[in-house]
């Protein structure tokens, strides 16, 4: 028997709670549309959760959760959300993503933010997650589907670089494609993006086994978290990736108080600012030395 839960209002009808209740006796739970907006609040034996992309049945080990082709899929948000529940001892859920699901791009989020600013007092009160611009593109048949990420011939033909985020690399399987020794040259490596925790904040929230893995990979002592941050920066800089991106907060070894953005939240994003004196001569010299060491500075040729 198929049961559908559909909201008939503007949200906040309790769809997540109803889905969570029905999931107890379901085999498959499908999120068929929508994006990572305010979220569905679920309270269970593991704690309190706000799900933004994951279907509300992810807490049951007998279910398979499906993210359907109508969903506005923000990939970093999905990864962060999976981590947020497994960090609270929720078993890793069985998740399948439709290969026809379309991807929310960074420019969708920017368009959403700019439009809200342009409208001023007449703004819609968007969560600025890029949902409206995303669906405009989807219905115009413009954009990228998940299937295209796995079409090697298409990627090679168009020379699209892959995106590698170190914070996604260190799971217990040791098989992650985000580990630096598995990179192709045509990719961009990030220690973390603007939507992730700072690297120092991320290290502090790892399970002990995952932290041990990071320590071994970077050859750092657990008690010296700042040097472990620099070890991860070195792993990114020394990789074969064509481009390496390191947020300034990571060079400064700042914790999550300096996080730039937490997806699908309002009020406290994009507020961090560099203050006078934070970027010392010592840090500048260290950045310069490492960047030169791994050949990432192109000297001007006269």
Helix (H) or strand (E) holding 199: helix 199-204
Number of H helices and number of E strands within the chain?
11, 9
Is 40 noted as a catalytic residue in this protein?
yes
Task: List the one residue out of 287, 153, 163 whose CA is nearest residue 230.
Answer: 287
Angle between helices 225-237 and 281-293 (to 10 degrees): 40
Is 285 noted as a catalytic residue in this protein?
no
Task: List the one residue out of 127, 136, 123, 128 whose CA is nearest residue 112.
Answer: 128
Exactly one of 20, 40, 108, 137 is catalytic; name it.
Answer: 40
Exactly one of 12, 87, 99, 184 is catalytic; name it.
Answer: 12
Residue 221: strand, helix, or coil: coil
Identify the DSSP state of 201: H
Which residues lie across from 276 on neighbouring strands?
Answer: none
| Active-site residue set | 12, 40
């Amino acid at each position: 028997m198929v049961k559908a839960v559909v909201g008939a209002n503007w949200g906040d009808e309790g769809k997540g709670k109803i889905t969570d209740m029905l999931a107890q006796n379901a085999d498959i739970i499908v999120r068929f549309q929508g994006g990572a907006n305010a979220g569905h609040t679920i309270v269970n034996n593991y704690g309190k959760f706000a799900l933004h992309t994951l279907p509300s049945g992810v807490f049951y080990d007998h279910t398979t959760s499906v993210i359907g082709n109508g969903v506005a899929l923000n990939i970093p948000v999905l990864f962060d959300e999976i981590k947020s529940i497994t960090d609270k001892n929720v078993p890793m859920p069985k998740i399948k993503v439709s290969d026809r699901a379309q991807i929310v791009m960074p420019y969708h989020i920017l368009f959403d933010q700019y439009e809200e600013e342009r409208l001023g007092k007449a703004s819609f009160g968007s969560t600025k997650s890029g949902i409206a611009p995303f669906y405009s593109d989807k219905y115009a048949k413009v954009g990228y589907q998940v299937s295209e990420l796995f079409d090697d011939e298409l990627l090679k033909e168009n020379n699209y670089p892959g995106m590698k985020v170190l914070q996604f690399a260190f799971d217990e399987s040791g098989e992650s494609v985000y580990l630096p020794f598995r990179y192709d040259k045509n990719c961009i490596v990030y220690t973390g993006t603007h939507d992730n925790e700072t690297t120092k904040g991320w290290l502090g929230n790892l399970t002990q086994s995952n932290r041990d893995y990071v320590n071994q990979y970077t050859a750092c002592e657990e008690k010296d978290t700042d040097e472990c941050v620099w070890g991860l920066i070195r792993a990114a800089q020394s990789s074969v990736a064509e481009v390496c991106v390191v947020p300034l907060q990571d060079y400064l070894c700042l914790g999550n108080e300096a996080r730039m953005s937490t997806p699908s939240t309002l009020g406290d994003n994009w507020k961090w600012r560099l203050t006078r004196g934070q970027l010392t001569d010592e840090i500048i010299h260290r950045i310069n030395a490492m960047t030169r060491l791994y050949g990432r500075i192109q000297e001007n040729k006269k």
